[in-house]
A and B are shown apart, each in its own frame.
Chain A
Amino acid sequence: MYQYDEFDQTVVNERAAQFRGQTRRFFEGKLTEEQFLPLRLQNGLYIQRYAPMLRIAVPYGHLASRQLRMVAHIARTYDKGYVHFTTRQNIQLNWPKVEDVPAILEDLASMQMHAIQTSGNCIRNITSDPLAGVCADEVEDPRPYCEIIRQWSTLHPEFAFLPRKFKIAVTGAAKDRAAVRVHDIGLRLLRNPAGEVGFEVIVGGGLGRTPVIGQVIRPFLPKRDLLTYLEAILRVYNLYGRRDNKFKARIKILVREMGVEAFREAVEREWRAIRDDFPLEEETIRWYQARFVRPDYDPDAPVRTWDDLRREDRGFDAWYRHNTVEHKVPGYRVVFLSLKPPGVAPGDLTAEQLDRVAELSERYSFGVTRTTHTQNLVFADVRQADLYELWQALREINLATANIGKLTDMICCPGLHYCALANAGSISVAHDIYRRFEDLDYLYDLGDIRINLSGCMNGCGHHSVGHIGILGVDKKGEEWYQITLGGSSSDDASLGERLGPAVAKDRVADSVEAVIRTYVDLRMEEEPFLATVRRVGVQPFKERVYANH
């Protein structure tokens, strides 16, 4: 994990002090509501339906145990004792008081944390692959580049008042676990034919009201040019992105209206003028790489696959198969902590669980916990020999539901229980669906299925890239739900296709069941859900879902 130096610490301290002053001026009437708005948003503070919401940055999803404990402390002291993990690897507090936020930011700063640019029309938290550095399919560890981009974008003087929000994701792996094609900028580390490592640059992806899959504007960007190229893209966007209509202000609309070729040409022209102004030197990259403390792996860690115990204990076996994955270091394995047990809002965790996770991370995974964009947690570096013990400990705190990647591992926004924008109670719909699929044998037989739910078309639940997407819409004050099939945010990124007219709230779980039964009837051998949908199209699903209407 990246270790702050005195300068990094100074930035978060000074930011907390700045916000304390801004909040004071707001309460003194020296800043109007309208003036305070972007200032508080750029510190993660929203005013929501029932209470303010504070979004805490978790840079590329990494949290040290002391940071988890601080989040637990904040949840207990200033909130209702629980937090929510988001689809951009961040943490949200749903009930803080505005006047407490300066103190919260100071508490966070004391643990090298912050809420800088977690909202507002600026460059947001940099997200990445939750398996960065431990997966075998990686060209290079993306995290030092994530940190470089984090610092470059932090308090960037030119890009703090963009037309709209701006999200960047980076991956170093062959398989995309960071959804780089649905970000404003997606960066993929890769090796060119000459053997050099650089970035593929994807621009203009995004979800929300107008979901778009990003396009490659540069197939290979040398590392030295990373920051100048990002700066060129941002400058073209800042100068020419639309500001007349907030729903047309994202970079994806600019790319569409200019045409990707003209956009690329504008970026390249800008970049040629600045590419030697501040190249990213090899020595600088090395400095960042060296600031990451890496786990001190035990070269003698025994390889254990737990075959005997797995034969005896089906629960452990299911957890081992579904919630753990291979690690590139022999004797270690990656463990997912499911934040999707039955009856809990997807992504929610209590302060007590946070404290226990912190403790377990210290005992079993070098003190680091990672967050994923599917709203789960990861212990990336667990000795295989510890797996059984860890499973038992995770069961005690309800984080061992063996459903990672399965139908009940749903992505879901907080919905109208919290959010000022939402039309729908997405969480209760998620619970309805969940209850239909509690039979684990059935769940595992269905294989990998991603259901994503959003309470409104802003799409925080990423419905448009769910294998099954569910979107809450308002029809004359009633909650209705639009269902899409065939979306994906991974390598084969695609947008879901609408199944038909929206269904009433009490029909959503039935409809999902009908979709699943259709899949079971139509699948060929081991064919995954997404492949079946792509092969047969939505028609057979549609017939079944609307048969009784």
Chain B
Amino acid sequence: MRIIKNREIVEDAWAHLTDEEIPANGRVTVPFGRWLVERETLLARDGEIGVRLDCEAPDELQRLVPDLPRIQLILLELSRFTDGRAFSLARLLRERHRYAGEIRVAGDFLPDQIYYLARVGVDAFEYRGAESLEEVLRAFETFSVRYQSAADGPGLIRQRRLVAGR
């Protein structure tokens, strides 16, 4: 499966499990509910782990915080592109919890949202819409000016300074 990661189109090997058996190795993601139940099994296996968060239940993140260092991927599942909760969750992950792993979005989102998603700390996109991934890549460059600070660093407002007496 081709996805966008770190602003490039790459082949992706993560398997998204629902209730299938957990393989002994390889990269797998599970929904948050399954993580809660099978945490020990998942941590004991030889392979990277991802957890899928339901953006309509923003409190899931809080319960996952202690385990974040052992999770290599957080997948934010967007059920409706107009629901903006994922944007806050991504910032909390990056800025509050200093999460350094991959933050990926999947589900219903538009290429037009990728610029914003990248700014709040999302670095991987499972895009399934009408545009080609090559076209979607261009969305990162929509704007060259960033007024406000976000997960990608301080914004222009912070840089505008007038020192007294000058």
Contact = CB atoms under 8 A, between A and B. Distances in A.
A238 B112 contact: no
B143 A161 contact: no
Given A7-B156, A160-B87, A283-B163, A14 B145 contact: yes
Interface stretch (A91-99, A100-108, A273-281, A388-396): A273-281
Interface stretch (B7-15, B63-71, B113-121): B113-121
Given A11-B143, A273-B96, A238 B84 contact: yes
**Interface majority SS (helix, strand, loop, mixed), chain A:** helix
B157 A148 contact: yes
Contacts of A283: 161-164
The listed residue with most B CB atoms (<10 A of its CB), out of A30, A158, A278, is: A158
Nearest to A35: B110
Interface stretch (A81-89, A214-222, A285-293): A285-293
Contacts of A287: 160-162
Interface in A230-251: 235, 238-240, 243
B41 interface: no
Contacts of A239: 58, 85, 88-89
A286 B163 CA distance: 8
B91 A158 contact: yes
Contacts of A281: 158, 161
B82 A284 contact: no
Query: Size class of A's contact patch?
Result: 35 or more
A404 to B, nearest CB: 36
Interface string B139-166: 0001111111110001111101111100
A78 interface: no
A157 interface: yes
A192 interface: no
A158 B96 CA distance: 14
A274 B145 CA distance: 23
Given A160-B87, A162-B84, A283-B161, A151 B110 contact: no
**Interface majority SS (helix, strand, loop, mixed), chain B:** loop
Contact of B147 (A11, A38, A121, A274): A11
A284 B88 contact: no
B131 interface: yes
Given A152-B157, A157-B87, 16 more contacts: A11-B143, A31-B110, A38-B82, A39-B112, A121-B82, A157-B120, A158-B84, A158-B120, A161-B82, A238-B84, A274-B96, A277-B95, A278-B155, A283-B164, A284-B161, A286-B162
Interface of B: 56, 58, 81-85, 87-89, 91, 95-96, 110, 112-113, 115-117, 119-120, 130-131, 142-150, 154-158, 160-164
Interface of A: 7-8, 10-11, 14-15, 18, 22, 25, 30-31, 35, 38-39, 121, 148, 151-162, 227, 235, 238-240, 243, 273-274, 277-278, 280-281, 283-284, 286-290
The 8 lowest CB-CB distance pairs between A and B, nearest first, are A161-B84, A157-B119, A157-B116, A283-B161, A287-B162, A286-B162, A278-B149, A151-B147
